[in-house]
Amino acid sequence: MKKSLALLVLAAFAGTATAAEVVGNPKAAPSKIEMCIGCHGIPGYKAAFPEVYRVPMIGGQSAKYIEAALHAYKKGDRKHPSMRGIAASLSDQDIADVAAYYAQQTPATAKR
């Protein structure tokens, strides 16, 4: 009984450690943001698919917010066909890197 409880506790901590290992590296992001710039890097840009809407600038947003949004698109919790396809192509490390990259920006330094 004690042995199986100890293994269960170790397994729980191992899962937590794995999730905590993904740390965003903004220097690894430039090759990963090419998909983002076309819409999110144009001030006042409006997309026409699936309907006309204003595309938000993401430079300067919180990394946690960007990560949560990308994971929600990836899982299908947020509904946008283009963003879902893009997010689905990203690994957890890619998402963390992209979020770290955009979080370090200010509106004045946002990638255009």
Question: How many helices (H) and strands (E) are present in the chain, helices listed first?
Answer: 5, 2
pTM: 0.74
The predicted structure's pLDDT at residue 109: 62
Choice among 47-51, 98-102, 103-107 with the minimum mean pLDDT: 47-51
- For 43-97, write each residue's pLDDT tens digit: 888 888 777 888 998 999 999 999 999 999 999 999 999 999 999 999 999 999 9
Cis peptide before 50 (omega within 30 of 0): yes
- For 3-44, write each residue's pLDDT tens digit: 554 444 445 555 444 456 899 999 999 999 999 998 998 888
